[in-house]
Amino acid sequence: MAYALRAYSGPLMLALLLHLAAVAALHGGWVPPQELGMKAFKPQIVHSTLIVMQPKAKPKPRPAPPKPAAAPPAKAPAKAEPRPQPKPQVQVDLEAEQRRRQEQERQRRLAELAQASFAEALASEASELAQDDDEARAQSYRFGIYQRVVANWSRPPSARNGMQARLLVELIPTGEVIGVTIVESSGSGAFDRSAEAAVRKARTFNVPREADLFEAHFRRFSLLFRPEDLLR
Amino acid sequence: MPEQISIFELVANASLLVQLVMAMLALASIVSWMMIFQRWFFLRRVATEVDQFEAEFWSGVDLRELYTELEGHDDLSGIEKVFMGGFKEFQRLAEQPGAEVDSIMQGVQRGIRVALNQEEVRLGAHLAFLATVGSTSPYVGLFGTVWGIMNSFRSLANMSQATLASVAPGISEALVATAMGLFAAIPAVIGYNRFSARVEELMKRIEAFSDELTSILHRAAGARAPAPK
């Protein structure tokens, strides 16, 4: 017994150490690559400049916001006051009136959107360091949303490079889409519908569980659909 | 969007049978690594002992002196035991007056053979365990995997909307069992092959030594036998 203890305790320790090291390596190596990929690298390459610039660029050139070269759909974190989701309804007598009201509403909301984004941009500049981490994480989720929307988007044959439609998407904290509104039409009904359908088909998005991060970036955000990779 | 699943969650979520299989494989892996380390140190020590003893034996020392010196020790190495086994018989039989050379040598060879067998058993201990782990643990792991995949497909059958995301975690967790089986098996097989080759080599050396010893003792017996007459 004593001999067995003497002869085997060393090897047993070594074996246990080796397995612990293997488990630790597995644990360390299993999770981070995904996290890193999600958090830092991909989003920066694809989106960071766009997102930062959007709030400032938006207010003035309202009809057609000039965009630097961008990946097809772009999103901006945005806040606006709660608002029931308006579905375009066909009512002949009220149509003109309604359209006008909608237009006003839209203008107002966009202005507010811009205001809010602008304020947020200012705030973010003030406390840049504190927000850096949050921003990076929001980016990773944005990238996830972007991928999901792109995967679900089937563009109509009438789509052309340079067309753009902006959608306002409203989510609830579980990530389910509860509202999609076309904020800025591309001029082609089919294109607008395809964009809206892409969001509706996605149904749910992966959103951060932290309430403040969700409220800040994902409760309501706008999506810009603009194909740039088409042949025609 | 897939959640980032840690491997530990996978293991924790697996079904009981798969978990049992995994626990068995983890245990097999730990024990086989223990054996590997133990054999490794042990065989290395035996090799240096053989080197040392051969050097001492061939240094021209008187065999009787060597015998009396070794008699005091009780932790003899394998090759020393072979020497002792042969030489003790030689001494005992050679002291008897009128002993034939052949009968002396038979006794010597018997003593050597006993020591050799013991040494072979001592060197080859645990190798059978390594061989067993090496050959069976992939199957055990595969069993766990098949079971896990079976279950995850069965639960898929009950779903109205089948998506890849609903089976993928189950399959992934089932595959952990195969990975563990391979993790346990590969070192065991390598260890088994390496150590059995090593044991063979050491046994060859000890056997060669025992042959040399026999011939030396044979000469000594031949020289002794006619002398009294």
A10 touches chain B (CB under 8 A): yes
- pLDDT, tens digit, for every residue of A104-159? 888 888 888 888 887 887 777 776 666 677 778 888 888 888 888 888 888 888 88
Q: Which among B8, B29, B34 has CB closest to A8?
A: B34
Interface of A with B in 69-128 (CB under 8 A): none
Q: Most B CBs within 10 Å: which of A5, A9, A31, as the mutation test of the B interface? A: A31
Cβ–Cβ under 8 Å, residues A227 and A72: yes
Q: How far apart, in whole angstroms, are the C-alpha atoms of residue A77 and residue B174?
A: 41
Q: Most A CBs within 10 Å: which of B38, B39, B41, B164, as the mutation test of the A interface? A: B38
Who wins on pLDDT, B20 or B221?
B20
Residue A162 lies inside a defined structural domain of this protein: yes
pLDDT for A43: 43
Question: Which DSSP symbol is given to A215?
Answer: H
* Residue contact A10–B29, C-beta within 8 A: no
Structure-token pair, residue A116: 């809010």
> pLDDT-derived band of residue B204, with 50, 70 and 90 as boundaries?
very high
Whether the predicted pLDDT of B100 surpasses 70: yes
Give me the DSSP letters along B122-136.
Answer: HHHTTHHHHHHHHHH
Instruction: Tally A–B CB contacts below 8 A.
Output: 46
Whether the predicted pLDDT of A36 surpasses 50: no
Over residues B130-154, mean pLDDT: 92
* Residue contact B183–A22, C-beta within 8 A: yes
- pLDDT, tens digit, for every residue of A7-29? 788 889 999 999 999 888 887 76
> pLDDT-derived band of residue B5, with 50, 70 and 90 as boundaries?
low
Structure-token pair, residue B50: 């053989």
CATH number of the domain encompassing residue A185: 3.30.1150.10
CA distances from B117 to B81, B120, B216 (A): 11, 5, 21
Question: CA of B73 to nearest chain A CA: how many angstroms apart?
Answer: 17
Domain boundaries, chain B: 1-54+79-97+124-154+171-229
Contacts of B41 in chain A (CB under 8 A): 10-11
- pLDDT, tens digit, for every residue of A71-96? 455 444 444 455 555 555 445 666 78
pLDDT for A44: 40
Closest CA to A218 of A158, A162, A190, A176: A176
The model's pTM is 0.53
Helix, strand, coil percentages, rounded to 5, for chain B: 85, 0, 15
Considering its fold, how many domains does chain A have in total? Answer: 1
Average pLDDT, chain B: 87
> pLDDT-derived band of residue A35, with 50, 70 and 90 as boundaries?
very low
Range of the domain at A153: 32-83+102-225
Residue A5 lies inside a defined structural domain of this protein: no
Question: Phi and psi for A179 in degrees, rounded to 5?
Answer: -155, 135
> pLDDT-derived band of residue A61, with 50, 70 and 90 as boundaries?
very low
Residue A20 lies inside a defined structural domain of this protein: no
Over residues B178-193, mean pLDDT: 94
Q: In a 3-state reduction of DSSP, which class is residue A223?
A: strand
Residue A202 lies inside a defined structural domain of this protein: yes
